[in-house]
Structure formats: structure tokens, C-alpha cells
Amino acid sequence: MKKLCYVFAMLLCFSTASLAQETAKKLSAESAKQCTELTKLMAKNLYLYDAEYLKLKDLNEKTMLKVQEIYAQYLDAPLRQEAKLKEATTEFENEIRQMLDEQQKVALASYQIDASLWLNTPAAIKSMMTASEER
């Protein structure tokens, strides 16, 4: 019985530690707002349904966190930073293409996707709005 309690206590400690790491990786309120605006605009232009919107929002949040982390981590190594940002962008493109149908992929092709989507979200949103108005 003592062993069982000990094992349970260890599992609780490990799960609490991993939960703390997960909650530490949250967007700030401002970044979350910008991420939501970006996702709404992308969903509108890509003709996404509700379930797809939720997947895209989750993907945008994950990518925004990753890009912000890369930007901060490689601030003193611009070439490495650029390579990592391109890697994150490619990963985003691959993941989003998996969730889209053919018509949505055609709409996606009209976007210039790079790390500026998540680094400079207000400018990216303005650019996307302008591009969608021109269509």
C-alpha cells in the first residue's frame, strides 16, 4: 500500500511539473488577440468550417509561440534565427495543407506565408486584408 501511495505521489509530481511547463507556454493577452484576428481572417479567406477554424487557431497559437521563442533564443545569431524561422514556416505550411481540401489549398497559394505572420501580426493582418479586398 505504501508503495502504491509512493508511486501515485511520484506520478502526481511529474504530471504537475509537465502541466506547469505547458501553462508557461501561453500567449500574452495581446498576442492571443492578434492570433485570433489572424485566424479569423485566414478562416474567412480559406473558407474554413468551425472545426477547421479551431484547428487553424490551435496551429497559429502553436506556431506563434514557436516563432517568438526562436526569435528570442537566436537574437544574437541572425543566420541561425532565419533558418529556424524558415523551418517553423515550412512546418506550419505542411500542417495546414494536411487539413485543407483542394479548393482551400488553391486559396492558400495566394498567401505569402513567412514568419512575419506571427512576428508582426498587425502588419500581416493589414496585408492580408488588403490582398483579400483586391480579389
> In terms of Cα–Cα distance, which of 24, 96, 20 is closest to 58?
96
Query: What confidence score (pLDDT) does residue 48 get?
Result: 92
pLDDT at 16 over 70: no
The rounded distance, in Å, linking the Cα atoms of 36 and 92 is 16
| The one-letter amino acid at 35 | C
pLDDT 10s digits, 33-46: 988 988 998 898 88
Cα distances (Å, whole numbers) of residue 95 to 30, 76, 117: 25, 29, 15
C-alpha cell belonging to residue 115: 514568419
Task: Enumerate the domain spans of the chain.
Answer: 30-134
Please calculate the CA angle 106-107-108 and round it to the nearest 5 degrees: 90
pLDDT at 131 over 60: no
- If one compares 127 and 67, the residue with the highest pLDDT of the two is 67
- Reduce the secondary structure of 5-62 to three states and give it as a string: HHHHHHHHHHHHHHHHHHHHCCCCHHHHHHHHHHHHHHHHHHCCCHHHHHHHHHHHHH
Question: Residue 83 in contact with residue 47, Cβ under 8 Å?
Answer: no
